[in-house]
């Protein structure tokens, strides 16, 4: 069993052999991966040492202290948070060897081709078709809300392989090459003025069967791994006191006494309390995970933060008064990173509207809490035993 002392020893070895000051960033990251110190809970040979996940902090702390470069996790969040666990869970040995190392070091960026114009909350109704042709699959359809698609090398993709079966049972999961000539990525401009996301049109895209993840028709189950990890990564982040959106508005309040009103004061204090309690709930969840007792509490974190971000940023626009009538910049851009807290209050107000839609709408998440946590009856499922091709659309 790999313990903390062993990890410290291995980390020291890595640092001795590859001094961060004189080693190329990418070379260092590759050496770290090969030493099993990338994600210690992954298997040996795939960047890990099959160690307890909680021990990752030991390695990270040592490396940070030594000034070692990191893999810029914000830039490759979809790869790390969604593609990697799915590949690990369902990939062949060949796929794991091929994809995980360049994914982790950041040489290859990943994106997610799941949502469609006609399949949002009802993702399983998706209509992008994949048809078998020899050793390949030919894919046609349209995906949407794809962040990072314009910089991605690979995508995780779910497509319909059997329209005659009920919707959950005719889906297959693939790895899609974003450099295929049939992949057309177009920016999708949002209410903030920028295009953080894309639409992706797939026209006769050819995917080798060797790039299928899991069995044919089993894609919905495979996708659950991806989606569970998405919610964890959206809601499970640790934040310091005043570390979220309550930070900037509190700062403005302190610095600009002329903006204060009694009404805003009451609302600000209420939201400050809510934000602090949400932070404590996140911290409690983290402690549960460290103690090896993950509870259902995580399901609520995303709901809480969506509401908080929206209400706090809305308050901040109002607090700013005349300045609240302005907006920093409507110029169309294609940012590489999702930025929830950057820019001014108006941007935050608009961007946070997406927080209750992306990664599961708040309405769907409330259903999930009610059904899976509280055990209340499921929504009526009129589509359960109907072939996908016969569904209303």
CB of 301 to another protein, least distance (A): 9
CB of 274 to another protein, least distance (A): 7
Residue 216 or 366 with smaller CB distance to another protein: 366
- How far is Cα 200 from Cα 146, in angstroms, rounded to an integer? 7
What phi and psi, each to the nearest 5 degrees, are found at residue 180?
-60, 135
List, in sequence order, the alpha helices (H) in the chain: 4-17, 25-34, 56-65, 77-78, 84-90, 93-105, 219-235, 246-255, 262-290, 298-319, 345-352, 362-368
Given the residues 116, 196, 199, 230, select the one marked as catalytic. Answer: 230
CB of 304 to another protein, least distance (A): 6
> 355 in helix, strand or coil?
helix
Closest residue by Cα to residue 205 from 172, 226, 175: 175
Residue 228 or 290 with smaller CB distance to another protein: 290
Element (H or E) spanning 212, and its range?
strand 212-213
Residue 128 or 250 with smaller CB distance to another protein: 250
Residue 24 or 371 with smaller CB distance to another protein: 371
- How far is Cα 287 from Cα 61, in angstroms, rounded to an integer? 18
Phi-psi region of 106 (alpha: psi -120 to 50; beta: other; left: phi over 0): left
CB of 348 to another protein, least distance (A): 19
Phi-psi region of 391 (alpha: psi -120 to 50; beta: other; left: phi over 0): beta
- Residue numbers of the site for another protein (CB under 8 A)? 57, 238, 240-243, 250, 253-254, 257, 260-262, 265-266, 268-270, 272-274, 276-281, 283-284, 287-288, 290-291, 293, 295-297, 300, 303-304, 363, 366-367, 369-371, 373-379
CB of 381 to another protein, least distance (A): 12
Kindly list the distances between the CA atom of residue 217 and the CA atoms of 222, 355, 360, in Å, as whole numbers in the listed order: 10, 31, 23
Please state the length of the chain: 393
Residue 224 or 261 with smaller CB distance to another protein: 261
Residue 224 or 378 with smaller CB distance to another protein: 378
- Neighbouring C-beta atoms of residue 38, cutoff 10 Å: 25
**DSSP label at 241?**
T
Residue 6 burial class via C-beta count within 10 angstroms: exposed 0-12, middle 13-18, buried 19 and up: middle
276 annotated active-site: no
Q: Which two tokens stand for residue 205?
A: 């895209």
Contact 43, 83 (CB under 8 A): no
Residue 134 or 375 with smaller CB distance to another protein: 375
CB of 235 to another protein, least distance (A): 12
CB of 80 to another protein, least distance (A): 21
> 294 in helix, strand or coil?
coil
89 Cβ contact partners less than 8 Å away, ≥ 6 residues apart: 222, 225
Question: Which residues are the active-site residues?
Answer: 230
């Amino acid at each position: 069993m790999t313990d903390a002392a062993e990890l410290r020893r291995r980390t020291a070895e890595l640092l001795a052999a590859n001094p961060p000051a004189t080693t190329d960033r990418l070379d260092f990251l590759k050496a770290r991966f090969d030493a099993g110190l990338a994600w210690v809970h992954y298997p040996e040979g795939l960047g890990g040492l099959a160690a307890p996940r909680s021990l990752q902090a030991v390695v990270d702390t040592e490396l940070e202290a030594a000034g070692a470069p990191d893999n810029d996790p914000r830039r490759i969040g979809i790869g790390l948070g969604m593609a990697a666990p799915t590949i690990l869970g369902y990939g062949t040995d060949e796929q794991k060897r091929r994809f995980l190392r360049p994914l982790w070091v950041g040489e290859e960026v990943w994106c997610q081709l799941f949502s469609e114009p006609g399949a949002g909350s009802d993702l399983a109704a998706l209509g992008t078709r994949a048809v078998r042709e020899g050793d390949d699959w030919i894919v046609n359809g349209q995906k949407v809300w794809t962040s990072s698609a314009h910089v991605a090398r690979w995508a995780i993709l779910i497509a319909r392989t059997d329209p005659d079966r009920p919707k959950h049972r005719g889906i297959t999961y693939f790895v899609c090459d974003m450099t295929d000539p049939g992949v057309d990525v177009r920016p999708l401009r949002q209410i903030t003025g920028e295009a953080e996301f894309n639409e992706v049109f797939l026209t006769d895209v050819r995917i080798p069967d060797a790039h299928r993840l899991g069995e044919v028709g089993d894609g919905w189950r495979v996708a659950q791994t991806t989606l569970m990890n998405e919610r964890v990564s959206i809601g499970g982040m640790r934040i310091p006191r005043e570390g979220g959106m309550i930070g900037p508005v509190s700062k403005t309040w302190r610095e600009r006494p002329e903006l204060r009103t009694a009404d805003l004061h009451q609302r600000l204090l209420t939201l400050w309390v809510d934000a602090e309690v949400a932070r404590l709930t996140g911290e409690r969840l983290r402690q549960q995970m460290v103690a090896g007792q993950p509870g259902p509490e995580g399901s609520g974190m995303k709901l809480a933060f969506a509401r908080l971000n929206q209400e706090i940023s809305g308050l901040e626009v109002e607090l700013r008064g005349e300045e609240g009538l302005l907006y920093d910049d409507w110029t169309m851009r294609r940012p590489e990173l999702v930025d929830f807290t950057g820019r001014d209050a108006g941007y935050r107000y608009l961007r946070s509207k997406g927080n209750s839609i992306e990664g599961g709408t708040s309405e769907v998440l409330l259903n999930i809490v009610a059904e899976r946590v509280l055990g209340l009856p499921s929504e009526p499922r009129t589509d359960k035993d109907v072939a996908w091709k016969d569904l209303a659309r």
